[in-house]
Every structure is written in C-alpha cells, then in structure tokens.
Structure 1
C-alpha cells in the first residue's frame, strides 16, 4: 500500500474519533490538558470562536434542553478535510472517469447526496493504489496532488485529536521574563513542557524545573 493510500485509510479510521470529540466542549484550563490546552490558556479564545460559541447557545429563557456544546476546532477540521477530499475526488472523476451510463460501484457520482468523508477517503485510496474502476489511472501530477491532500488532511486530524507530537514557539506577547522566546512541546501522549531559548528556564505541569 502506498504512503498516500495509508494516510487515506488512517483518515477513515480516525473519522469516528472526530465525531466523538465533536461534542466535547473546548476548555482552556492549562497544562493539564496537553499542548493544545496550554496554547489555549496562553492565547485565549479567538474573538470569532468566542462569538460563534455564544451564537450556538440558546437563550436561558427558552424552554427545553440546551444543546450539547460543540467543539468548534474539531468541527472546522472535519469540514476542511471533508471538503478537500470531496473536491479532490470530484476533480479526478471529472478528468479520468469514463462516460459510462450503466451503474458501477466504483464510479464517483456528481449528483445526489454527497458521499461521507470515510467513503470518499477509501475511494481515493483505491485510486491511489490503482484499483480497477471505470476510468483512467491517475497521472503523476494527480498522484502528487492526492498525496499532498492526504498527508495534510491526516496532519490536521492528528493535530485536532492531539495524536501528533508538536513543537511551537510562542509569540513575543508571551515571552519569558528575561525577554526570551518560549518554545512548548507535547502531544501524542507526551507530557507538555516549555523552555526559554534565552535563559534556559524549563517548565512542566508542576511548575518551573530549572532556570
């Protein structure tokens, strides 16, 4: 299986986890939530995100049960990835798919209800692997484009689910007391840490370890 096909299968496998995480409200209490939580605690919510959260809430004087808060970061990831996969599949079909009027299970359909992200990812995986279908094999530029879409989509998903190790340098607004830039690392189950590039101060969830 090619690297592209593996990434697309991974996307299909992780999609249910995104659905599970979608209903979890975003919290920003700090280090204990991992790298993303620490970033959120330092940088706070974006103004647009906070406004969207308020818009999703029903007025307290309305009757009935209030909806479960939606994790907007997960929602944005799902929408972006699904749109990218769908657009890529549509482009490939428009260029490579034969004009066959009879129904075929491997054909990409332009009309009707859009296919879900899982089905689309697996359809694209089959195209990457050269599985027979009523259409021409992908060209080298198409393979490269599909590979980019697959790896970038998987990166976004793993980042949203905090499955990938990441390193991030904070802006000058969140500099160390010495004026140096702070770099934080974490994710993929690792305990988040931070250190100053200038003075060498080092932080963990329990506080300053060394300075």
Structure 2
C-alpha cells in the first residue's frame, strides 16, 4: 500500500518530469531578476559599494564595451546537472537492487523445435521490456524521475517492490530535486542574510524573504521590523 510520504515523493518526481522543459527553457534565458532584491537596501551601502553596483548595471548595456554575458543562465544549467546526476544515480542504485535480470535462452545450437523458439522469443522480449531501467544509452532526468515514481507506486514489471529503506532513499532524492527545481523557477520562498545592520537602534541582523511569487520583504531578526519592496530601509 502506498503511504503518504511515498505518495508525496512520487508527486515530487512527477513535478520534475512535467516541469523539466520549463527549466530547460529558463536555462536559455538571461537571469530575469537578481536575488535578493535591493528593496531600498542600497541606501545602507557605502559609496564604493554603490559605485560597483552602478558599474554592473552599466555593463548590461548592449552597447557598452567589453565582453557580453553568455546568452544562457549558467546557474540554471548547474541546477539541472545537479538534479539529473542525483536522479540517475538513484535510479541506477535502485535498479541494481530491485530489477530482475532478463531471462536467458541458449541459442546457436541448431534447435528448431517450437519450445526453444518460444524460449528465445521470451528472452528477447524480456530483455527489451520498456519498463526496465537501462544503465547505458540516452538517460535523462525526466526518464529517471518517471521510472522512480513508478517504483514508488509499485507498478508491475520485472521488479520486486521497494523496501522501506529504498523508499526513503528515493524520497530523499525526490525532495532535494524538487526543492532545487522550485527555487530555480521561483516557486519556493528563499531567505537570505543581508550584509548590513538594521538601521533601527537595535542594529540587528537583516534578512530578505521572497522569491516564491509573493512580494519580498526585509526582516530584522532582532527588533522584528519589516520593510516591503516599495518601502525604503531607512
């Protein structure tokens, strides 16, 4: 029977399969926004820091001299590589444990009877079963995510059911991959420390929260004061 954690992990793997193309499209774009957002924090910067930030903005001008940024988002490519590596390694490890070896039939001895022909066909069909996980050839993150989700759901095939340890392993990989995907696509809320003290008398630690589609805000962890994007931190 599929448990709630197993079902949640399978759903996370489905999300990776369904949104992989979106992630690949994002990798072909320049980063649309900078995280964390400035939100008035630039007023707390030194003159030197503000000059550096202005120079970075100037360099994005297509007419500015010097080399232009690559027309791809390298950070997204790194995320895709991390997710794909984790999923492929998990699928390889699970397949080695739960996937039944293909049937083998002796051939090449001149047998012509129906029984031996049937055995040879059975072995060929079993080896070519599309439900099998392949350790060679073209292997992608969506393929691995879909195959692992089917194992969590105990779909039939040349496999034994996953035991609890194997389910936990797949669930851990699924959770990490899904979280990386959500953060990269802006679906997960992020929390980042701001390298400037709170401008209030407490002088506490500032953090920025956002990145999930909701309006970001700056929060002081000491006095609890918050600032929204349209409100200067001053």
TM-score grouping bracket, smaller chain normalisation: 0.7 to 0.9
Cα distance in structure 1, aligned partners of 2:23 and 2:192? 26
Residue number in structure 1 paired with 2:31: 26
SS in 1 for 2:93: helix
Structure 1 residue runs of 4 or more that deviate by more than 4 Å after TM superposition: none
2:133 is aligned with 1:108 = yes
Give yes or no for contact 2:29–2:73 (8 Å, CA) kept in 1: yes
| Count of residue pairs the alignment pairs up | 180
1:170 to 1:100, Cα distance in 2 relative to 1, 3 A: same
- Does residue 175 (structure 1) correspond to residue 197 (structure 2)? The answer is yes
- State how 1:125-204 maps to structure 2 within 5 Å: 125-166=149-190, 168-170=191-193, 173-177=195-199, 178=201, 179-204=203-228
Cα pair 1:201 1:208 within 8 Å, conserved: no
Q: Deviations over 1:125-170 (max 9, x none)?
A: 000100011121111100001001101110010011111123x251
Aligned partners of 1:123, 1:200: CA distance in 2, in Å?
46
Q: What RMSD over aligned residues (CA atoms) do the two structures have, in Å?
A: 2.7
**1:207 match: secondary structure:** coil
Unaligned runs of 5+ in 1: 28-32, 45-59
- TM-score calculated relative to the size of structure 1: 0.75
Q: Distance in 1 between matches of 2:69 and 2:186?
A: 25
Please name the residue that 1:14 is paired with. 19
| 1:94-105 alignment, distance < 5 Å | 94-101=96-103, 102-105=127-130
Distance 2:30 2:208 in 1: 23
Structure 2: stretches of 5+ with no match in the other structure: 43-48, 50-65, 104-126
Structure ranking higher on relative contact order (CA contacts 8 Å, 6+ apart): 2
Identify if the C-alpha distance between structure 1 residues 76 and 84 changes in structure 2 by more than 3 Å, giving closer, same or farther: same
**How far apart in 1 are the matches of 2:192 and 2:133?**
43
Distance 1:191 1:124, change over 3 A: same
Query: In structure 2, do the counterparts of structure 1 residues 169 and 79 end up closer, same or farther at CA, with 3 Å as the change threshold?
Result: closer
3-state SS of 1:203 partner? strand
Contact 2:36 2:208 in 1 (8 A): no
Q: Which one of 63, 72, 75 corresponds to residue 73 of structure 1?
A: 75
Query: C-alpha distance in 2, partners of 1:89/1:169?
Result: 33
Task: Please give the alpha-carbon distance, in whole angstroms, between the structure 1 residues aligned to 2:174 and 2:180.
Answer: 10
Computing the radius of gyration over CA atoms, which structure comes out larger, 1 or 2?
A: 2
